[in-house]
Chain A
């Protein structure tokens, strides 16, 4: 029972991070039907931006309280990643608007390779350790034990998810986003600038991925330039599991995937941990390609 609860908690923690990345996949897929392969690299870049900011803050304000540092690095990494996401969309994907999926998909793999190697050239290929900025405090609740960083991950992720849900439901841009996902032609006729909405989608998704990257780096204490590939793939699995295009689906899919992985690693084998996600992906694709919350859309003719 103790192992179960502990693995459940660890799974939930990493699941929150998957969910944040999965949101970016699902939103972009919703508006332009593109599997944005480069999204995992945006996540990774976000982690590196956070690392850079920690270094800058540590030398400028060595005595700042940890939550100030945390907020500053999150904002910095979100801003940087959002800019990068918008730039990628503008340079690589916009010229391909309207061409078949294959062309854009290949481009996104190219972007992914480019970003991954650009980060490697800038920061070096060695794994870099992230300085501990969040005090290593552990809380005990009955048989459970969790750290402050886990609390931070939960609070930040929930805040982000609430913000996103509010944004998509209530703001003008959010409504336009939903309209564009539903029917871009009709949205355009109603005066929605679909191009602008696509840019907003990339900016939001990239900022969420950057938050995930920063939290991930702090949780594991290290970042490397190729982590975006695997994390991106798992988050994509989560998005498909929840039903691609569905925002609550991505959240639930991410959390559930994290839990499966945590329990699988605890009870079956940690060596095969990475395989669980792909097996789950295969199962979902075969038995329920529309996912948990997805609409069962036939392929558009």
Chain B
């Protein structure tokens, strides 16, 4: 499809606009709430995709950045009365700050060590939120986080600004999540077309060749890490504002792996792929309610067989497939 001068803008609009009809067509409040959670997963999966899909680095502590975002907004709101919108940005930046903090030392080490370093970081963050009772409420978490507010100009009885507050009703959250997902998707499409995006793919394909072409691989990888953490932070503040409560156990290793499974299933390196993976794995547990115990078993199997049978994921292109099975034919026997 040719969308003229602003292809990404219209592409994102074309894909996400139909979803605005969802709360109108399906009045079931539970379904709308579920889809809001799925929307948060979509944002997270798109964010993780920057590191895993674009840069080919494995971040196994992604839930930690999500947690940092959630706690940033929660703490700012509880102690300083910070409203949602500045809290959203603050959450993104604080998460990004920590992303750099982990990334700067970790990115220098070998690729698979990064996975372990981020995993360790994820555990440290969760344990820290759990043990720093004085600030974070320990295992009980933080309660009573303020919901977002909107300022709507009104011309009834002369001009004034009406404050409209979000409530338990999930529908406004659904639209807010959809809006943020659209913004993130749009910016990521722009990113993948930019110099940084191309450099990231070049690094993933062949780091040595990329650095020979004058790409500062360390810097570019760090950008990816920062952007990805920022997105997780935003998703975290959204989550905190929706739940109005944050507890450390919402952000465990299982969540990190779940988001990774979404990216892998949908197709690493593909923005819509990550989103699709999030929708599938987000809704699946609801459809398989009777088999709730088998859910995690299924995630494990998805990851194993996806890597063997279709490493590029549902929507992955041929390039990533070739990369992931690069030397399988050359070496038919034994280790690399």
| Cβ of B120 to closest chain A Cβ, rounded Å | 4
| Cβ of A243 to closest chain B Cβ, rounded Å | 13
Interface size class of A (residues with CB under 8 A): 35 or more
Q: Which of A77-85, A160-168, A251-259, A276-284 contacts B (4 or more CB under 8 A)?
A: A276-284
User: Which residues of chain B come closer than 8 Å to A109, judged between CB atoms?
Assistant: 60, 257, 260, 303
Residue A190 CB within 8 A of the other chain: no
- A195 and B109 alpha carbons, distance in the complex (Å): 29
Name the 10 nearest CB pairs between A and B, nearest first.
A110-B303, A114-B300, A113-B300, A194-B334, A278-B120, A110-B304, A98-B327, A98-B331, A117-B297, A117-B296
Nearest B residue to A297, CB-CB: B110
Q: Which of A32, A110, A112, A121 contacts B301 (CB 8 A)?
A: A110
Residue A101 CB within 8 A of the other chain: yes
Nearest B residue to A115, CB-CB: B300
User: Which residues of chain A come closer than 8 Å to B249, judged between CB atoms?
Assistant: none
Residue A198 CB within 8 A of the other chain: yes
Residue B283 CB within 8 A of the other chain: no
User: Which residues of chain B come closer than 8 Å to A236, judged between CB atoms?
Assistant: 116
User: Which residues of chain B come closer than 8 Å to A116, judged between CB atoms?
Assistant: 296, 300
- A135 and B120 alpha carbons, distance in the complex (Å): 37
Q: Which of A97, A107, A198, A233 contacts B119 (CB 8 A)?
A: A233
Q: Which of B56, B127, B253 contacts A275 (CB 8 A)?
A: B127
Q: With A229-B253, A285-B117, A301-B208 as given contacts, are A278 and B333 in contact (CB-CB < 8 Å)?
A: no
Question: What sequence of 0s and 1s flags, for each residue 101-124 of chain B, a beta carbon within 8 Å of any chain A beta carbon?
Answer: 000011001111101110111011
Q: Are A282 and B120 in contact (CB under 8 A)?
A: yes
Q: Are B299 and A35 in contact (CB under 8 A)?
A: no
Q: Are B307 and A96 in contact (CB under 8 A)?
A: yes
Q: Are A107 and B336 in contact (CB under 8 A)?
A: no
Residue A2 CB within 8 A of the other chain: no
Question: What sequence of 0s and 1s flags, for each residue 33-76 of chain A, a beta carbon within 8 Å of any chain B beta carbon?
Answer: 10100000000000000000000000000000000000000000
| Cβ of A45 to closest chain B Cβ, rounded Å | 14
Additional A-B contacts beyond A102-B56, A110-B300 (16; CB < 8 A)? A31-B335, A32-B336, A35-B112, A97-B336, A98-B336, A99-B326, A100-B323, A100-B324, A110-B302, A113-B257, A114-B297, A236-B116, A278-B124, A279-B124, A285-B113, A286-B105
Question: What sequence of 0s and 1s flags, for each residue 282-322 of chain B, a beta carbon within 8 Å of any chain A beta carbon?
Answer: 00000000000110110111111001100100000000000
- A35 and B111 alpha carbons, distance in the complex (Å): 11
- A278 and B301 alpha carbons, distance in the complex (Å): 28
Residue B26 CB within 8 A of the other chain: no
User: Which residues of chain A come closer than 8 Å to B219, judged between CB atoms?
Assistant: none
Q: Are B335 and A32 in contact (CB under 8 A)?
A: yes
Nearest A residue to B117, CB-CB: A285
Residue B328 CB within 8 A of the other chain: yes
Q: Which residues of B come within 8 Å of A, CB atoms?
A: 52, 56, 58, 60, 105-106, 109-113, 115-117, 119-121, 123-124, 127-128, 131, 208, 253, 257, 260-261, 264, 293-294, 296-297, 299-304, 307-308, 311, 323-328, 330-331, 333-336
- A268 and B253 alpha carbons, distance in the complex (Å): 26
The residue in B112, B264, B293, B328 that gathers the most chain A C-beta atoms within 10 A of its C-beta is B112
Nearest B residue to A271, CB-CB: B131
Q: Are B308 and A107 in contact (CB under 8 A)?
A: yes
Residue A289 CB within 8 A of the other chain: yes
Question: What sequence of 0s and 1s flags, for each residue 262-301 of chain A, a beta carbon within 8 Å of any chain B beta carbon?
Answer: 0000000001101100110110011001000000000101
- A279 and B128 alpha carbons, distance in the complex (Å): 12
User: Which residues of chain B come closer than 8 Å to A23, judged between CB atoms?
Assistant: none
Nearest B residue to A273, CB-CB: B127
Tell me the chain A residues, 169-190 only, with Cβ under 8 Å from chain B: 180, 184-185, 187-188
Q: Are A274 and B123 in contact (CB under 8 A)?
A: yes
Q: Are A184 and B334 in contact (CB under 8 A)?
A: yes
- A257 and B297 alpha carbons, distance in the complex (Å): 32
Q: Which of B106, B294, B300 contacts A111 (CB 8 A)?
A: B300
Q: Which of B105, B127, B301, B335 contacts A97 (CB 8 A)?
A: B335
Nearest A residue to B293, CB-CB: A121
User: Which residues of chain A come closer than 8 Å to B60, judged between CB atoms?
Assistant: 109
User: Which residues of chain B come closer than 8 Å to A185, judged between CB atoms?
Assistant: 334
| Cβ of B51 to closest chain A Cβ, rounded Å | 11
- A98 and B326 alpha carbons, distance in the complex (Å): 7
User: Which residues of chain B come closer than 8 Å to A102, judged between CB atoms?
Assistant: 52, 56, 58, 111, 324
Q: Which of A97, A106, A112, A289 contacts B109 (CB 8 A)?
A: A289
Residue A5 CB within 8 A of the other chain: no
- A118 and B330 alpha carbons, distance in the complex (Å): 35
Q: Which of B113, B131, B301, B311 contacts A99 (CB 8 A)?
A: B311
User: Which residues of chain B come closer than 8 Å to A92, judged between CB atoms?
Assistant: 304, 308
| Cβ of A38 to closest chain B Cβ, rounded Å | 9
- A107 and B306 alpha carbons, distance in the complex (Å): 8
| Cβ of B126 to closest chain A Cβ, rounded Å | 10
